[in-house]
Amino acid sequence: MPQYMLSVFGDEAEFARQQQNAELIQQMYTDVGKVNDRLQEQGAWVFGGGLHPTSTATVVRVNDGDALTTDGPYIEAKEQLGGFWVIEAADLDAALTWAKDCSVACQNPIEVRPFQEEPEA
């Protein structure tokens, strides 16, 4: 069955503001937990998780065999990846249905992208 990545994107400043509202955060955790449970019950769950802020990121680049590490996100942008799900779905329409549920639960936009097929050996 095809796999899709459902990526949660949002404004990091808004993420930080949301963290200040304990009631809102608890509701989001509850709602995301319910979606995760349904994904697992229906056999669509592969993996998922939230990410720490981009201030915790480290970028690794290799140049002529030497690794260079830098602090911070790879891309400086207002909206950043905040979490993700990897799911199995029969097709894009099924993945989009899950993405809608995920977007409602986490209160942020969801980008849906299929994984590439593995080349046959």
CATH number at residue 12: 3.30.70.1060
Q: Is residue 119 part of a domain?
A: no
Any domain includes 12: yes
Residue 74 lies in a domain: yes
In this prediction, residue 44 carries a pLDDT of: 97
What's the pTM value of the predicted model, to 2 decimals?
0.87
Say if 15 falls within a structural domain: yes
- For residue 16, pLDDT beyond 90: no
The burial of 86, by beta-carbon neighbours within 10 Å (0-12 exposed, 13-18 middle, 19 or more buried), is given as: middle
* Structural domain includes residue 38: yes
> Contact at 8 Å (CB) between 46 and 84?
no
Domain containing residue 40 = 3-114
pLDDT one-digit tens code per residue, 67-105: 999 998 888 888 889 999 999 999 999 999 999 999 999
- Assess if residue 56 is contained within a domain: yes
Whether 120 maps to a domain, the answer reads: no
